[in-house]
Structure 1
Amino acid sequence: MHKPETTPRASLYHAYRVYAHYHPQPAPHSSAPDAPVTVVGGGPIGMVTALALARHGVRCVVLQAEQQVSEGSRAIVFTRRSQEILQAVGVSDAVVANGLPWTSGNSYYRGQRVFRMESPVDEDDRFAPLINLQQNVLESYLVEAIAREPLVEIRWGNKLIGMTQDDDGVTLQIDTPQGEYTQRTGWLVAADGARSTVRTALGLRFEGASYEGRFVIADIRIDLDLPTERLAYFAPDWNPGNTVLMHREPGGIWRVDYQLPVEETSEHALQPDTIRQRIDAQLDMMGLGGKPWELDWCSVYSARALTLPDYVHRRILFAGDAAHLLPIFGVRGANTGFQDAIDLSWKLAAVVKGSAPAPLLASYTHDRVGAAREIIAEAGKSTRFMTPPSHGFRVLRDAVLDLSLDHEFVRPLFHWRTSRAHDYRDSPLNSPSDDNAAMRAGPGVGAPAPNVKLGENDYFYDHLGAAFHLVTFGDSPLPGALREEIETWRERGVALRVIAFATSQHDVGGADLTLADANGRAAAKYGAQAGTSYLVRPDHHICARWQRLDASRLADALAQATARR
Structure 2
Amino acid sequence: MRPQGRGEHDSLYFTYPHFDAPPPGLDRTSPVPVAIVGAGPVGMVAALELARHGQRSVLIEARDTFNDGSRAICLSRSSFQILDRIGALPPFLAKALPWTTGRSFFRGRQILEFTMPDSADERFRPMYNLQQQYIEQFLWQAIEAQPLIETRWQTRLTGIETGREGAVLHLTDPSGAYDLPARWVLAADGARSTVRQALGLRLKGENFEGRYVIADIRMPHDYPTIRRALFDPACRPGGTVLIHRQPDDIWRIDYQLAEGESAEEATREENVRAGVQGVLDEIGEAGAWDLEWWSVYSANTLALDEYRHGPVVFIGDSAHIVPIFGVRGLNNGLADAQNIGWKLALVLNGQAGEGLLDSYTPERRGATLDVFANASKSARFMTPPSFGTRLMRDAALSLALRFPWAGELANPRQMAPYTYAESPLTRPGDPGPGPAPGALIPDANLGDGFLSQRMGPGFTLVTLGPAPEVTHPLLTTLSLPALWGAPEGSAFLIRPDLHLAARWTSADAQVILSTLTAMLERP
Residues 114-513 of structure 1 mapped to structure 2, 5 A cutoff: 114-289=111-286, 291-432=287-428, 436=429, 438-455=430-447, 458-474=449-465, 476-478=466-468, 482-483=469-470, 486=471, 489-490=472-473, 495-502=474-481
1:238 and 1:530 map into 2 onto residues whose CA distance is 59
The DSSP-based 3-state class of the residue aligned with 1:383 is helix
Q: Is the 8 A contact 1:104 1:119 kept in 2?
A: yes
Q: Which residue does the alignment assign to 1:505? A: none
2:282 and 2:133 map into 1 onto residues whose CA distance is 30
Q: Is the 8 A contact 2:55 2:345 kept in 1?
A: yes
Once the two structures are superposed, what CA deviation does each residue of 1:279-336 show, in whole Å capped at 9, x if it has no partner?
11111111223x2111111000000111111111000000000000001011011000
1:420 and 1:10 map into 2 onto residues whose CA distance is 37
Shift of 1:185: 0.8
Q: Is the 8 A contact 2:306 2:361 kept in 1?
A: yes
Which amino acid is the alignment partner of residue 383 of structure 2? T
Q: Which residue does the alignment assign to 2:56? A: 59
Shift of 1:20: 1.3
Kindly indicate whether residue 11 of structure 2 is the aligned counterpart of residue 19 of structure 1. Answer: no
1:31 and 1:104 map into 2 onto residues whose CA distance is 49
Shift of 1:23: 4.4
Percent identity between the two aligned chains: 43
The DSSP-based 3-state class of the residue aligned with 2:389 is helix
Kindly indicate whether residue 494 of structure 2 is the aligned counterpart of residue 555 of structure 1. Answer: no
Q: Which residue does the alignment assign to 1:540? A: 498
Q: Which residue does the alignment assign to 1:528? A: 486
Kindly indicate whether residue 49 of structure 2 is the aligned counterpart of residue 49 of structure 1. Answer: no
1:253 and 1:298 map into 2 onto residues whose CA distance is 12
1:33 and 1:558 map into 2 onto residues whose CA distance is 35
Q: Is the 8 A contact 2:8 2:68 kept in 1?
A: no
Q: Is the 8 A contact 2:121 2:443 kept in 1?
A: yes
The DSSP-based 3-state class of the residue aligned with 1:33 is coil
Shift of 1:556: 3.0
Q: Is the 8 A contact 2:189 2:195 kept in 1?
A: yes
Shift of 1:13: 1.1
Q: Is the 8 A contact 2:160 2:199 kept in 1?
A: no
Which amino acid is the alignment partner of residue 506 of structure 2? R
Shift of 1:564: 4.2
* Structure 2 runs not aligned, ≥5 long: 1-6
1:372 and 1:8 map into 2 onto residues whose CA distance is 33
Shift of 1:217: 0.3
1:83 and 1:206 map into 2 onto residues whose CA distance is 28
Which amino acid is the alignment partner of residue 407 of structure 2? R
2:467 and 2:438 map into 1 onto residues whose CA distance is 27
Once the two structures are superposed, what CA deviation does each residue of 1:66-119 show, in whole Å capped at 9, x if it has no partner?
111111111111110011001111222111111111110000012210011101
1:560 and 1:381 map into 2 onto residues whose CA distance is 38
Once the two structures are superposed, what CA deviation does each residue of 1:11-56 show, in whole Å capped at 9, x if it has no partner?
1111111011114526xxx852211001000000000000001001
2:351 and 2:373 map into 1 onto residues whose CA distance is 35
2:521 and 2:386 map into 1 onto residues whose CA distance is 45
Shift of 1:211: 0.3
Number of residues paired by the alignment?
517
Q: CA 1:31–1:253 in structure 2 vs 1: closer, same or farther (change >3 Å)?
A: closer
Pick aligned residue for 2:107 from 102, 107, 110: 110
TM-score w.r.t. structure 1 length? 0.89
Which amino acid is the alignment partner of residue 389 of structure 2? F
Shift of 1:225: 2.3
Which amino acid is the alignment partner of residue 268 of structure 2? Q
1:262 and 1:176 map into 2 onto residues whose CA distance is 43
Q: Is the 8 A contact 2:467 2:477 kept in 1?
A: no
Which amino acid is the alignment partner of residue 409 of structure 1? W
Shift of 1:548: 1.1
Once the two structures are superposed, what CA deviation does each residue of 1:444-493 show, in whole Å capped at 9, x if it has no partner?
1011122112236x21211224301111111x353xxx43xx2xx43xxx
Which amino acid is the alignment partner of residue 325 of structure 2? F
Which amino acid is the alignment partner of residue 454 of structure 1? L
Q: Is the 8 A contact 2:34 2:57 kept in 1?
A: yes
Once the two structures are superposed, what CA deviation does each residue of 1:116-145 show, in whole Å capped at 9, x if it has no partner?
110111111111111111011110111110
1:178 and 1:144 map into 2 onto residues whose CA distance is 26
Which amino acid is the alignment partner of residue 451 of structure 1? D
Alignment root-mean-square deviation, CA: 1.5
Q: Is the 8 A contact 1:45 1:319 kept in 2?
A: yes
1:257 and 1:211 map into 2 onto residues whose CA distance is 16
Q: CA 1:34–1:110 in structure 2 vs 1: closer, same or farther (change >3 Å)?
A: same
2:435 and 2:190 map into 1 onto residues whose CA distance is 34
